[in-house]
Structure 1
Amino acid sequence: MADSYGLLFTAGDDNRTVIDSEFSRMSTLYKGTYVTNESSGASSLTLFPAVIATQEQPLVFIRPNSANGVIGMSNLEILGSPGSWTGFRVRRFSDYTIQPSGRWFVANFVTQPLATYGARFWNASGAPVFDSASPPAIFVRSSNTWTYTGSGQTGQGLSISYFSAPFNMEEDEYFMINNFIMSAVGGTSGNGYRQISAMWDYPAKLIKIGLIVNGGNTVSTGLTVMIGKTIQ
């Protein structure tokens, strides 16, 4: 935070930083809705309104539409590469899970110079760190209290391990997909590939994941669910 000079504005009982003239807050870059538009309704491709030019991957949050069943949030992808991030993809888990649709926003620790009127601050290198027209985004909670619920095989003959955890989202809360797109390595030798699939059982208020494995089963995971909001 700003120390000897500059501007620092805090709020709340925890004195959280709202504006800092030296360091960027997490800001909402774009937002919208995602719908099924690929693979006969099994997949949703969303492109950002413009390329996000950061080296680090932007943080993508989705809020699946509430439904009376299991919502697939599987085979997640953030599209592009460092300096040129272009969009994301959500697929359903299987023919028995609900097709992907809902709301989304993308955020990062950068600021878009959007305001025509208002306030804007730059750091010493000339990069904008605050713009009054760029809505802040915040993390509100996280969870990794998983319970192992069993294992089986996919249609391709790969092992899959299942986990569940209590999960409920308010209408203005969103699920961050970034850590669910990672491939994982299994075994003490570092061998074995794991692909993460996520499902939200809305009526039962459970989030479920399946770890698809090409060598043995997994009985524990430390994967963390991150929940965020965009502040309008």
Structure 2
Amino acid sequence: MAELYGIRTRDASGVVTLDTTVTPVRSLKMMQVTGNGAFDQYISIPEIQEQSFVVVDTLRDQGENTWSPQAWYSKGQLQLRQPGVSSWQVMILSLGGEPFTSQGDYGFRSRNGDIRTQIDSVNKVLSVRYSGSFQIGIYWRPGEKSQEIRWGDVNFPSPITTYERPLIFLNASDYMMVGNFFVKGSPGNWTGFMIRQHAHPQDHKAYDYMQIKWYCASYLPPVGSPGSYGLSIRDASGAMTFITTANLALLNSQPATNKFVSQGPPISGTVTGYAPSQQMPWTGNYGDFVLANALFSCVNIGATTQPIRPNFGGFLPGNRSILQMYCENNDGVNPVTANGRTLFASQPMKPI
């Protein structure tokens, strides 16, 4: 057994509330950028480091036509494809290990092999706010009338008050094929989310409803007290930045924006028209959730009569070794791809 370095805490019932042998997701910087109307726009962002990863998200609610641009990043640079002239939220995330900042050395850092944990008074951790489940899709049996639930419609118990959209993570008991994702509300008042079921050419959807699980995570400041178990961290002003009673969202795989490849049969000759198949390696773990915010939102391809096109996909039956995506294109010419949709796999620290 590998030696463990760091901290593990449990609550009164014995549930682990912090474990530095796994990696919480941290935010180094949140900022906004504005599109300049170019096909490809390159933006210098020095805070993007070699081991940073970036989520580019919209700040708008345009219903099922809510879209976000494709985005790629490398050290010091962000690339947006057809961003228009809108403003976009950029979240620069990290695996941890950066030096403490000059704003105050409050917190702790640990390392166990390649797993690094740093929770401090400046950089924020992502924690679970709400969670739940719903059914979506088509229920059908021979000789029975099919019943369709087209939309998954979730309302939060109370609004998320961050300026940036909260991050929504999805999983399913098995098969999942969804798209047209959007978060309801506006900056400072995000009230829920909606996502639509989509068809697959092999009609896997026709056998039963998809059983979808979800959780909402954000960087809202934590509240409460650790009580007799756990720990909390405050900044120089006394404001709490971390507490072990919060449920951390954990990074379970290094995200990638360029790992989708064109493989698998496209969808064609249906209402969709044409949608090329894109696949990337996935974790193989049925417990891993996938970030929905950019991956399942629409894309704006511009210069056509129908510029807003859905990205949809998820998991094929019995297979978590790949992430399956389709991007509507109608005619198959210059098909849109899933590359550039920022995402990562995550699990909550504590059961939900």
Q: Which residue of 2 aligns with 1:35?
A: 135
Quick one: structure 1 residues 193 and 154, their matched pair in 2 at CA, closer, same or farther if it must change by over 3 Å?
Answer: farther
Asked if structure 2 preserves the Cα contact closer than 8 Å seen for 1:27 and 1:135, the reply is yes
Aligned length: 227
**2:106 is aligned with 1:7:** yes
- Give the Å deviation of 1:214: 5.5
- Give the Å deviation of 1:163: 1.9
Q: Which residue of 2 aligns with 1:134?
A: 246
Q: Which residue of 2 aligns with 1:86?
A: 191
Q: 2: distance between equivalents of 1:52 and 1:106?
A: 9
Asked if structure 1 preserves the Cα contact closer than 8 Å seen for 2:176 and 2:212, the reply is no
Amino acid at match of 1:111: P
Listed one character per residue, the Cα deviations across residues 180-209 of structure 1 (whole Å, up to 9, x for unaligned) are: 24332337x699433201131032443322
Asked if structure 1 preserves the Cα contact closer than 8 Å seen for 2:312 and 2:325, the reply is yes
**2:335 is aligned with 1:218:** yes
Asked if structure 1 preserves the Cα contact closer than 8 Å seen for 2:296 and 2:313, the reply is no
- Give the Å deviation of 1:59: 0.8
Asked if structure 2 preserves the Cα contact closer than 8 Å seen for 1:111 and 1:131, the reply is no
Amino acid at match of 1:43: W
Asked if structure 2 preserves the Cα contact closer than 8 Å seen for 1:60 and 1:176, the reply is yes
- DSSP 3-state at the match of 1:54: coil
Q: Percent of pairs identical after alignment?
A: 21
- Give the Å deviation of 1:175: 0.8
Amino acid at match of 1:228: S
Amino acid at match of 1:7: Y
- Give the Å deviation of 1:46: 1.8
Structure 1 range deviating more: 100-109 or 178-187: 178-187
Listed one character per residue, the Cα deviations across residues 82-106 of structure 1 (whole Å, up to 9, x for unaligned) are: 1111122233212832533232211
Q: 2: distance between equivalents of 1:224 and 1:123?
A: 30
Asked if structure 2 preserves the Cα contact closer than 8 Å seen for 1:36 and 1:45, the reply is no
1:23 pairs with one of 114, 123, 126: 123
Quick one: structure 1 residues 224 and 124, their matched pair in 2 at CA, closer, same or farther if it must change by over 3 Å?
Answer: same
**2:347 is aligned with 1:229:** yes
Structure 1 range deviating more: 74-83 or 160-169: 160-169
Asked if structure 1 preserves the Cα contact closer than 8 Å seen for 2:260 and 2:278, the reply is no
Structure 1 range deviating more: 110-119 or 78-87: 110-119
RMSD: 3.2
Quick one: structure 1 residues 18 and 171, their matched pair in 2 at CA, closer, same or farther if it must change by over 3 Å?
Answer: farther
Q: Between Structure 1 and Structure 2, whose CA radius of gyration is higher?
A: 2
Listed one character per residue, the Cα deviations across residues 160-180 of structure 1 (whole Å, up to 9, x for unaligned) are: 222233434424311110112
Asked if structure 2 preserves the Cα contact closer than 8 Å seen for 1:121 and 1:131, the reply is yes
**2:284 is aligned with 1:173:** no
Q: Which residue of 1 aligns with 2:34?
A: none
TM-score of the superposed pair, with normalisation by structure 1: 0.79
2:212 pairs with one of 85, 88, 102: 102
Q: 2: distance between equivalents of 1:126 and 1:186?
A: 47
Q: Which residue of 1 aligns with 2:299?
A: 184
Amino acid at match of 1:55: Y
Amino acid at match of 1:140: N
